Structure 1
Amino acid sequence: MAAITASMVAELRAKTDAPMMECKKALTEADGDMAKAEELLRVKLGTKAGKAASRVTAEGVVAAAINGTTGAMIEVNCETDFVTKNDSFLALANAAAKLIAEHNPADIAALGALPYEQETFGPTLEDVRKGLIGKIGENMSFRRFQRWANGGQLAAYLHGTRIGVVVEFDGHATAAKDVAMHDAAIKPGALTPADVP
């Protein structure tokens, strides 16, 4: 049986972002084999994600990504408001918004299948979501998203992480952002010219 050193545990933790004790247990079970320990952790974190899947995700954040004439907004939910402040959770939400704007997935399943540049938990966005569930211990879900690519300029305003507005405009970006802020504050009765009575 190989001796498990603190540096081995630290290296596995850096690779997988899993809790220290989980890393130590995986290394012990893998008899010091780093690759085998990584795979054990992926399976274990995936199992935790399966157990968490039935729990309600009533809290969450809104993230937006705007790139000139293309934009996206997504709502990513979790179980408690503590997780909404977690840097890894916020990074997941922002990455999802960016991927939606770039790739135009048809639905949540297609979004989850998109490649994610950070491969700590796996190569897709869904793998990363499941890995974060295992790491943080709470269920997380991509609830809904919207993508815009109508040819007009887009501006977004996020009020904290709970309210988001995207507006299409011709003219000044500052004025568009002010309109988006106003829309977030007053919840207008009409969102498009066709909606005005």
Structure 2
Amino acid sequence: MTITAAMVKELRESTGAGMMDAKKALTETNGDMEAAVDWLRTKGLAKAAKKADRVAAEGLIGVAVSNGRGVAVEINSETDFVAKNADFQALVREVTKVALEVGETVEVVKAADLNGETVEQVITNAVARIGENMTFRRLHVLEGDTVVSYVHNAAADGLGKIGVLVALNGPADKAQEIGRQFAMHIAATSPLSLSEATLDPSVLERELAVQTAKALEENATSAKPKPEQVIHNNIIPGRMKKFLAENTLLGQAFVINPDLTVEQAAKDAGVEITGYARVAVGEGIEKEKEDFAAEVAKALKG
């Protein structure tokens, strides 16, 4: 497979690796981008790449909570100009309210009534009125004894670029108080799962493969190599433990008090975190990049 300059550039931007290292990684893996990331990590030349860092889209997340039920809605727009539009913000807020009442899936909410029309028709009307394509893309529903919400980079009350919901069991007053701190923590750290038990097994398998290859290679080139049983019984398990501590919510160091894990902080407060959702605008959407001048020129022509 031909390795293009664009592929090398993408790999460099996502991993921070040097140009020659990125090119070699792609060559060794026949252009497979994910395998190239793992190859670089095995060689100690890159950190784990987060796909979210390589995608973008505009729009807003709307969050709402009532009586132990919370929803986070994502509605996308083509440009950030529209995301700041009061009409668009009102649309997201109204759809979020409907979702809180009836939502289980995006399709159910689209078919629900909003001021005498279906939500889908209201969005279609907004597209015609505002002059830009919009997509009701995602809905997350979370339930628990107490559900707390938080919006990061808020554009208005309950609207922003990142929406977080946290479900907790325990005394409602304590759950509300510390629940918001947990929600802010989740917005900042973006954990992969609540705990090891809920982590996608394929993620663990991939990380184990990377850490095993990395540890064996480091040992092979070390001036004082360790016995292989030490590598498998101590070093690799230690690195996997660190990975879980950094990437599972309950295992992470609590940003408010890094001396405690989130799990311990919850226990100290007399509550239990039973679930969470973190929704960021544009996750998983590839957006064609263009420079700002070109974007403005396009808008003016339109």
If the length of structure 2 is used for normalisation, what is the TM-score? 0.42
- Measured at CA, do residues 80 and 152 of structure 1 come closer, stay the same or move farther in structure 2, by a change above 3 Å? same
Equivalent in the alignment of 2:30: none
Equivalent in the alignment of 2:149: 156
One-letter code of the match for 1:131?
A: N
Distance in 2, matches of 1:194 and 1:166, equals: 20
Equivalent in the alignment of 1:167: 166
What SS is found at the alignment partner of 1:188?
A: coil
Within-5 A mapping of 1:1-197: 58-105=57-104, 107-117=105-115, 123-149=117-143, 151-160=144-153, 161-169=160-168, 170-171=170-171, 172=174, 173-192=176-195, 194-195=197-198
One-letter code of the match for 2:129?
A: K
CA displacement at 1:68 relative to structure 2? 2.5
Distance in 2, matches of 1:102 and 1:193, equals: 32
Report the structure number with the largest CA radius of gyration: 2
One-letter code of the match for 2:59?
A: G
If the length of structure 1 is used for normalisation, what is the TM-score? 0.62
One-letter code of the match for 2:135?
A: S
Across the aligned residues of Structure 1 and Structure 2, the Cα RMSD in angstroms comes to 2.0
Distance in 1, matches of 2:109 and 2:137, equals: 11
One-letter code of the match for 1:152?
A: D
CA displacement at 1:192 relative to structure 2? 4.4
Structure 2: any 5+ residue segments left out of the alignment? 1-55, 154-159, 200-243, 245-302
Pairs aligned (count):
135
One-letter code of the match for 1:91?
A: A
Equivalent in the alignment of 1:5: none
One-letter code of the match for 2:102?
A: H
One-letter code of the match for 1:134?
A: A
Query: Which moves more between the two structures, 70-79 or 86-95?
Result: 86-95
- Measured at CA, do residues 109 and 190 of structure 1 come closer, stay the same or move farther in structure 2, by a change above 3 Å? closer
What SS is found at the alignment partner of 2:80?
A: coil
Contact 2:73 2:140 (C-alpha < 8 Å) held by counterparts: yes
Contact 2:70 2:100 (C-alpha < 8 Å) held by counterparts: yes
Structure 1 segments of 4 or more deviating over 6 A? Answer: none
CA displacement at 1:193 relative to structure 2? 6.8
CA displacement at 1:157 relative to structure 2? 0.6
Distance in 1, matches of 2:195 and 2:149, equals: 16
Partner deviation per Cα, 1:46-98 (whole Å, 9 max, x = no partner): xxxxxxxxxxx931111111003011111100100001111121121122222
Distance in 2, matches of 1:154 and 1:186, equals: 19
Contact 2:102 2:108 (C-alpha < 8 Å) held by counterparts: no
Structure 1: any 5+ residue segments left out of the alignment? 1-56
One-letter code of the match for 2:71?
A: A
Q: Identity over aligned residues, as a percent?
A: 34
Contact 2:162 2:187 (C-alpha < 8 Å) held by counterparts: yes
CA displacement at 1:189 relative to structure 2? 3.9
